[in-house]
Structure 1
Amino acid sequence: MTRRPTIIDVAREAGVSKSTVSLVLQNSASVRDETRKQVRAAMARIGYVYNRSAANMRSSNAGLVGLVINDLRNPFFTEFATSLQMALADKGYSAVIANTDEDPGLQAQVVGSMIEHGVSALILCPAYGETRATFDAIARAGIPAMQMLRRVDDRLDLFPLTAPDYARGSGEATRHLLAGGARQVAFVGGLEGRAVTEERQDGYLSALAEAGMTPVMLTGQSTREFGRETARRLAETHPQVDAAVCFNDLVALGMLSGFQEVGRDVGQGFRLVGFDDISEAAQCFPTLTSVRCDIARIGAQAAETVIDWLDKGTPPPGETRTPVSLVVRQSSGGDGRS
């Protein structure tokens, strides 16, 4: 090698990321001894010399946290990202934010770029799909990383999960509808095979089993469009269904529009509950009963957790479930006050 070796050359020689090499040079305790020896050996082989003064100039990236969000178009995730970014800023940290648009390939790209640019930690609301390689790259980099709101990797010792108690929320919503006189309750929205869909369905199924009732599950994209189409379909093919728990508020808001089109009253004739309690739930008409996850608080807590992890070197528990509550409004027969 005729030119002076760089940190990228060391990373390539050692078979690790640039971020991992940087952590070794900083004597970070988060790097495994085996990896540290591997990087030091690569430095020796190619003749790399550490320029500490230049490294000090680059240290402005310290305290930079990568935030990877699966769908920033969804107000639920937008509120999470905003509250987390503001909480990090309050503690003197900065966030670099990327939207993956539910694309695992794009997720791999942005995570790799964040690692290369030396983020101190990663917080992911991950996309579903082929994600193993992405999380393997994070593990090799040796930086703290948290899964938020969704679980796609089972290595919770490396990538701890924080998410609302989805099953409890859907269970409370279903029991609320049954207590209000619903004769048949449907579950609407959520793609089959996804863990977050199954968790939200679990509480619904348990509540119906307790009541000795048969479930009606209409799965699909968790969008307003799907909710609107499903409202029309329910009126035509499932006239016996008189209540629904929705996967999220977007589906429920779509159902409100769909029922308006077919002339079906929501609140008394049909009882409806959303999930997430985005701000629009209290602003639409009729106002929407919803399972509140307190996503702003989850974002603030995530910031505290990752900063403690960085400062103290101790990861959080493998799985943390945050409390939920049901906010009753007009769509399920309430008076609209939240």
Structure 2
Amino acid sequence: MGQRPTILDVAKRAGVSKSTVSLVLQGNKTVKETTRQAVRQAMADIGYVYNRSAATLRSSSSGLIGLVINDLRNPFFTEFAALFQMELAKNGFATVLANSDEDPDLQTRMISSLVEHGVSGFIVSPSYGAEQDALAVLEASNTPTLQVFRALDAGDRKFPFVAPDYEKGGRLATEHLLEMGCKRIAFLGGLDGRPVTEERMSGYLAVLSEAGMEPVVLTGQATRSFGKSMAADLQAKHPDVDGVLCFNDLVALGVLAACPELGVRVGTDLRVVGFDDIEDCRDSYPSLTSVSCNIPDFAKSTAAQILGWIKDGKRPALTARSPVQLIKRASSGP
């Protein structure tokens, strides 16, 4: 007896992607009628039968949670993923981890695959771009989905979203730099136009406006290499800058690494504050002042929310912010 046809066979026959077949099977209205007909015809041609009741059973009782992260190379997300997985394990659930690597097409494919495997819920820290593709798959799957750190649907929210209070963090950091006597404060890192960049920058801009000071904004990749290049750039083009708030700790650690070669004394000539408070902040030299997002508590709360939704039908609030605090260390002064 030959093997039963699969969804991949249907996709190949119809000349479409696996995720498109999934959308047709789930009755999603975003698929063009011509594509829908082609998929239905392919199903008939090869004798594929969709077992909807089995799919529903899988999704409601699999005990699997899909965790889709935009960049697992960043220690901030790695710390969150590890802590979240351990919280789920305590409650008898397993985590299926996927790294989209800031690739929206890969993100959509991975979400589609996880839907096919019948995950009971999703936690998604999304990659930017092609948001509607990922949203369409998630909507069609009718799977409890919680967005963290970033949101696919910034306007008309379809899925609950929880993130640290980025605006408050930027405010705390900038106020601290002013208290330490900084006269010219720059914001480094984060890509232009990204909501998460604008949010982390918003507190900084508000405090400088209140103080009657002009901002110095130098956006770019949120990486150590960008931070290292910006340290030299500041010395050459903005020598009056004596304080920096970085988009994240990676940028800040890059600044710290570059300063000795440039003859810049961190904590005296230049006061540096990061954002996220990853573990490396405590072990850097000098130790890095950072806005803590309290990832252990955030992971525990996120796990509780998705499990409450799956087990008890308690849908989280559409938007929520978790508290942040400034952890002062040597990089911003004595």
Classify the TM-score, shorter chain: 0.7 to 0.9
Q: TM-score, normalised by structure 2?
A: 0.84
The residue that corresponds to 1:93 in the other structure is 93
Q: In structure 2, how many angstroms separate the alpha carbons of the residues matched to 1:183 and 1:4?
A: 71
Change (3 A) 1:18 1:207: closer
8 Å CA contact retained: 1:274, 1:288: yes
Q: In structure 2, how many angstroms separate the alpha carbons of the residues matched to 1:49 and 1:217?
A: 53
- Secondary structure of 2:255's counterpart equals helix
Q: In structure 1, how many angstroms separate the alpha carbons of the residues matched to 2:237 and 2:244?
A: 15
8 Å CA contact retained: 2:275, 2:290: yes
8 Å CA contact retained: 2:59, 2:120: no
Please state how far the C-alpha of 1:155 moved relative to its aligned partner: 6.3
- Secondary structure of 1:17's counterpart equals helix
Change (3 A) 1:147 1:59: closer
The residue that corresponds to 1:263 in the other structure is 263
Correspondence 1:241-320 to 2 at 5 A: 241-320=241-320
The residue that corresponds to 1:180 in the other structure is 180
The residue that corresponds to 2:22 in the other structure is 17
Please state how far the C-alpha of 1:296 moved relative to its aligned partner: 2.0
The residue that corresponds to 1:127 in the other structure is 127
RMSD: 3.1
Please state how far the C-alpha of 1:59 moved relative to its aligned partner: 8.3
Correspondence 1:182-261 to 2 at 5 A: 182-261=182-261
Q: In structure 2, how many angstroms separate the alpha carbons of the residues matched to 1:268 and 1:225?
A: 23
- Secondary structure of 1:112's counterpart equals helix
The residue that corresponds to 1:65 in the other structure is 65
Q: In structure 1, how many angstroms separate the alpha carbons of the residues matched to 2:261 and 2:225?
A: 13
Please state how far the C-alpha of 1:297 moved relative to its aligned partner: 1.4
Q: In structure 2, how many angstroms separate the alpha carbons of the residues matched to 1:67 and 1:9?
A: 27
Q: Unpaired runs of 5+ in structure 2?
A: 15-19, 28-39
- The letter for the 2-side match of 1:201 is M
The residue that corresponds to 1:29 in the other structure is none
The residue that corresponds to 1:116 in the other structure is 116
Q: In structure 2, how many angstroms separate the alpha carbons of the residues matched to 1:137 and 1:321?
A: 26
Please state how far the C-alpha of 1:87 moved relative to its aligned partner: 0.5
8 Å CA contact retained: 1:20, 1:140: no
Q: In structure 1, how many angstroms separate the alpha carbons of the residues matched to 2:141 and 2:59?
A: 17
Please state how far the C-alpha of 1:152 moved relative to its aligned partner: 2.4
- The letter for the 1-side match of 2:22 is S
- Secondary structure of 2:65's counterpart equals strand
Q: Unpaired runs of 5+ in structure 1?
A: 25-41
Change (3 A) 1:19 1:309: farther
8 Å CA contact retained: 1:145, 1:158: no
Q: In structure 2, how many angstroms separate the alpha carbons of the residues matched to 1:9 and 1:262?
A: 60
Change (3 A) 1:51 1:139: closer
Change (3 A) 1:241 1:5: closer
Q: Aligned pair 1:151/2:151, yes or no?
A: yes
8 Å CA contact retained: 1:20, 1:142: no
8 Å CA contact retained: 1:156, 1:318: no
Change (3 A) 1:51 1:101: closer
Once the two structures are aligned, what percentage of the paired residues are identical? 48
Please state how far the C-alpha of 1:299 moved relative to its aligned partner: 1.2
Q: In structure 2, how many angstroms separate the alpha carbons of the residues matched to 1:64 and 1:304?
A: 15
8 Å CA contact retained: 2:23, 2:137: no
8 Å CA contact retained: 1:169, 1:325: yes
Q: In structure 2, how many angstroms separate the alpha carbons of the residues matched to 1:257 and 1:9?
A: 52
Moved more, 125-134 or 224-233: 125-134
- Secondary structure of 1:287's counterpart equals coil
8 Å CA contact retained: 2:10, 2:48: no
The residue that corresponds to 1:160 in the other structure is 160
8 Å CA contact retained: 2:228, 2:257: yes
Q: TM-score, normalised by structure 1?
A: 0.83
Change (3 A) 1:18 1:10: farther
Change (3 A) 1:10 1:317: farther
